[in-house]
Structure 1
Amino acid sequence: MQRVATGHYEITTTAGESVRSFVPDPLPPHPSLDLGGQGQALKDRALLACGRLDGVSALLPDPELFLYAYVRREALLSSQIEGTQSSLSDLLLFELEEAPGVPFDDVVEVSSYVAALEHGLARMASGFPLSSRLLREIHEVLLARGRGADRMPGQFRRSQNWIGGTRPGNARFVPPPPGLVEGCMAELERFIHADDDLPVLVKAALAHVQFETIHPFLDGNGRLGRLLIVLMLVDGGILRQPLLYLSLFFKQHRSRYYELLDEVRQQGDWEAWIAFFLEGVESTAAAAVDSAHRLLELFRSDEMKLTGLGRSGTSLRQVYASLRQRPLVGIPQLAARAQVSFPTAAKAMERLVALGIAREVTGGRRNRVFAYDAYIAILGEGAEPL
C-alpha cells in the first residue's frame, strides 16, 4: 500500500525566521490501516496479556497495595525519560514528611505525576469524559509544583515550541503553530470518542502519536502523552486498574520510538508504529504479571516467618500488613495504619528487622525510617535513573 505524509507544513515566522511547522491530518489514517495477519496476531496477544494482568491483580491480598507502588514506579520512569534522576526510594521518602535529604526538584516532578494520574482517574470514575478539558486539568496538576510551574499549567500553548535544536529554525521537529492547537486537539477528542470499529489498543496507539505530534503544551507533553495511553485503556474497558504503563518499554527503546514517530509523520507508516506499540503492551503486561506473582511469593515467604510467635504474633502481623501497604515508612505512620501503639509498632518493627524482612535506612535514633527492601527491589527493576 502506498503511504504518504500524515499532515502538511505551515510556513510561519517565529523570532524573525521562517519556520516549517507540521500540522497532522485528523485521525483515523487514510487509507485505512492494514494490520494484516501478523498485526492481528500481535493485537490478540497484547489483548490476552492485558487480560492476564487484569486477572492477576485480583489475586493480590489488596489490589490497591500493588497499584500504590506500581503507579509510583510509572511516575518515576515517565519522569526519567524527561531527565529526572530520582529513584523509587527517593519518591517514597519524599512522601514521608519528616524524611530529609531528597532531591527536591526531581522528586516533586515525579510526585506531581502521581497526583496528575490520580486526578484523571478520579474524574473519569465520576463520569467525566476523557477530553481536552480533562487533559488540561491533568496538565495543571502535573505542572503545579517544581520545574514547569511557570510554563502555563493547564493551558494550551500560545507560542511556538519545538523538539531538538536551539530554535525552531534548526529543530528536529516543529509541531503545529499555536493558533491551530485547539482545533487539532478538538479533532483528537472526536477521534477518541468516535463510534468506529478500531480496537481500543489500536486507538490508543494512534492517539498517542497524534498527541505527541500536536505537542499542545509548553512543557509536560511527553509525560501527558504517556498518561493518555493508560487513561484510554481504562476508559475503554481493557483494564479495570491502571496497571499497564509503557514508559519502561519506551525508555529501553528510545531511539526506535522516535524513529517510528518520524516515519508516521513523513511516510504514513502507521502499521510499523502499531506493531511496535502492541509489542510494548504485550511485554509490559507480561512483566507486570511476573512482578505481581513475585510479590505474592514474597508475601507468602515472609508471612511464614511470622508463624508460631505466640501472643506477639497478632500485632506483628498487623504491622507487617501495614509495611506491605507502604514499603518505606516511619514508626508513627506504621502505628496509625496498623492501629497499634507507638511502642508496639516499634517493637514489632525491630522484630521484622531481626527476621530480615525490613531494614532501617536513616541510621539515626530519631525519626527512623524502615524499608521493605525486597518489595522495593521488585518494583524498582528498570526504574534506576538513566
Structure 2
Amino acid sequence: MLEPFQAENIEDAFKRIDKTTFVDELVDSISRLKVYSAVLKRSIARESCMTSMYMKESLHSSRMETTRTSLQNSLEKAALDDDSDKDVNEVRNYFAATRYGREYLMRTGVFSEEMLLEMHRILLSGNVHRTTESIGCYRTEQNFIQNVNSKEITFVPPEAKQVKPLMDNLISFMNNPASGERNLVNAAVIHEQFETIHPFADGNGRVGRMLIPLFLFKVREIEMPWLFLSEAIEKEKFRYYKMLNDVRTNGAWNEWIKFFLGIVDRQCVKYEGNIQKIEELYGSCLKKITDISSSRLLKQVFTCFFKSPIKNSRSIERETGLSNTTVNRMLDKLTANNIVFADEKKRGNLYYFYDLIELL
C-alpha cells in the first residue's frame, strides 16, 4: 500500500509554479471573469434565477460522487418538500452548505474551522448516502482515494494527525492569500491543497469545489459566489482527477493551474450567454403577462418560477403570502396562455416553466 502523502504548507507550492507557462490562460480567464461578473451585475434576472443555477451547480458537483438524479427530479422533489430520495437530498444539502458558507463570509468576512466543519455537517446530514458517521469534524483515521473501476488505491492523503495543522495553514492562507499572485491562481492552489489534505472521512470533493467561488467572493474577485464550475469539471472528471494527482506525484502545478483557468474561462463564457438568454426570456414573459392582465399579482406569481422553474401552489403561497384561491387563479391564467404547464394530476399539480428549464 502507498505511504501517506507528506504534504507541505500551501506557501511552498508557489516555489514550484512558473507563471510564464500559463500567462495566456490567466489573461483570458481574468478578462472573461470580469465580463461575466459585469453581465451578471446588471442583469435584472440575476437574483431571481440564482437559486435554480445553484441547484444545477449542486447537481453536477454531487454527480462527481456517484449521485444519480436529474435537475428536473431535484426541482420536483424540492417543490413537494419530499426528502425520500437520497440522491436529491445530497443535491439539496450541497446547495444549503454553499448558502451557509456565503452567509458566514458575509457576516464575518473570514474563513474559519467552524465554517468549514459546519458546511461539512450540513452536506452529510439527514437521509443521504455517506460512508461515515463522522460529520462536522476532521477525520481521525487514515483514508485513501481509490479508482472506481479497478479498485486500485491511487492516493493516500496525509496522516490524520497532520490534518489540523495543514488545515490551519490553509485557512490562514485563504484569509491572507499570497500577495503578488492573481486570485484565480490562488484559488487553483487552494483547491488542490484542500483535496490533497482530504480532511474529512467523506465529502471532500464537494466541500473543495464549494470553496472555489467562496474564496473568490471573499477576496472580492466576484461580487457574489456565483461562479459555477462543477458542470465543466464533471464533463472532464477523469482529467480533473489525473491533474490533481499529477501535482502530488510529479509536482505538475503549472499543468493543473492551466487546466483550472481553462475551466473558469469556458464556464464564464457559457454562463454569460445563459444570463443574457434568461434576461431576454424574463423580459419577453413580463411583456406577455402585461398584455394578459394589469394585475401585479400575476407578475408576482410568475416571478416565483424564475427562482425555481417547477412549483406547486403551496410553495408559491409560502413564497408570496397570497391566498390559495388567488394563487390558483393566477396559475390558471399562466397555464391558459402557455407560459407554464401543469402536470395531469387532479390534485396537487406541479407547474413547469419549461422555457427556463431549457436554459439552465
TM-score w.r.t. the length of structure 1 is 0.86
2:140 corresponds to 1:152:
no
SS in 2 for 1:347: helix
Correspondent of 1:78 among 45, 61, 72: 61
Match of 1:133 in 2: 114
Q: Deviations over 1:327-357 (max 9, x none)?
A: 2111133245445432332222122122221
Q: Do the aligned partners of residues 103 and 283 (structure 1) sit closer, same or farther apart at CA in structure 2, a change above 3 Å counting?
A: farther
Q: Deviations over 1:269-291 (max 9, x none)?
A: 11111111001111111111111
Q: Are the equivalent residues in 1 in contact too, given 2:217–2:224 (CA < 8 A)? A: yes
2:14 corresponds to 1:33:
no
Instruction: For 1:321 and 1:194, locate their aligned partners in 2 and report how far apart those are by CA, in whole Å.
Output: 40
2:201 corresponds to 1:229:
no
In structure 2, what residue type is equivalent to 1:119?
Y
Instruction: For 2:232 and 2:216, locate their aligned partners in 1 and report how far apart those are by CA, in whole Å.
Output: 17
Q: Which has the larger radius of gyration?
A: 1
Tell me by how many angstroms 1:159 deviates: 0.9
Where do 5+ consecutive residues of structure 1 fail to align?
Answer: 1-17, 380-386
Tell me by how many angstroms 1:234 deviates: 0.6
Tell me by how many angstroms 1:310 deviates: 4.8
With 229-238 and 294-303 compared, the bigger mean Cα shift is at: 294-303
SS in 1 for 2:4: strand
Q: Do the aligned partners of residues 98 and 165 (structure 1) sit closer, same or farther apart at CA in structure 2, a change above 3 Å counting?
A: closer
Where do 5+ consecutive residues of structure 2 fail to align?
Answer: none
Match of 2:275 in 1: 292
Match of 1:265 in 2: 248
Q: Do the aligned partners of residues 61 and 258 (structure 1) sit closer, same or farther apart at CA in structure 2, a change above 3 Å counting?
A: same
Q: Are the equivalent residues in 1 in contact too, given 2:289–2:298 (CA < 8 A)? A: yes
Q: Do the aligned partners of residues 194 and 338 (structure 1) sit closer, same or farther apart at CA in structure 2, a change above 3 Å counting?
A: closer
Q: Do the aligned partners of residues 326 and 179 (structure 1) sit closer, same or farther apart at CA in structure 2, a change above 3 Å counting?
A: same
Tell me by how many angstroms 1:107 deviates: 0.8
Q: Aligned pairs, how many?
A: 355
SS in 2 for 1:22: coil
Match of 1:252 in 2: 235
Q: Are the equivalent residues in 2 in contact too, given 1:23–1:214 (CA < 8 A)? A: no
Instruction: For 1:198 and 1:30, locate their aligned partners in 2 and report how far apart those are by CA, in whole Å.
Output: 9
Correspondent of 2:262 among 274, 279, 288: 279
Match of 2:323 in 1: 341
Match of 1:371 in 2: 352
Tell me by how many angstroms 1:209 deviates: 0.7
RMSD between aligned alpha carbons?
2.2
In structure 2, what residue type is equivalent to 1:135?
L
SS in 2 for 1:219: coil
Correspondent of 1:123 among 104, 125, 133: 104
In structure 1, what residue type is equivalent to 2:349?
R
Match of 2:341 in 1: 359
Match of 1:42 in 2: 25
In structure 2, what residue type is equivalent to 1:296?
E
Instruction: For 1:24 and 1:196, locate their aligned partners in 2 and report how far apart those are by CA, in whole Å.
Output: 22
Correspondent of 2:47 among 64, 72, 75: 64
Q: Are the equivalent residues in 2 in contact too, given 1:315–1:348 (CA < 8 A)? A: yes
TM-score w.r.t. the length of structure 2 is 0.92
* Percent sequence identity over aligned pairs: 28
Q: Do the aligned partners of residues 47 and 348 (structure 1) sit closer, same or farther apart at CA in structure 2, a change above 3 Å counting?
A: same
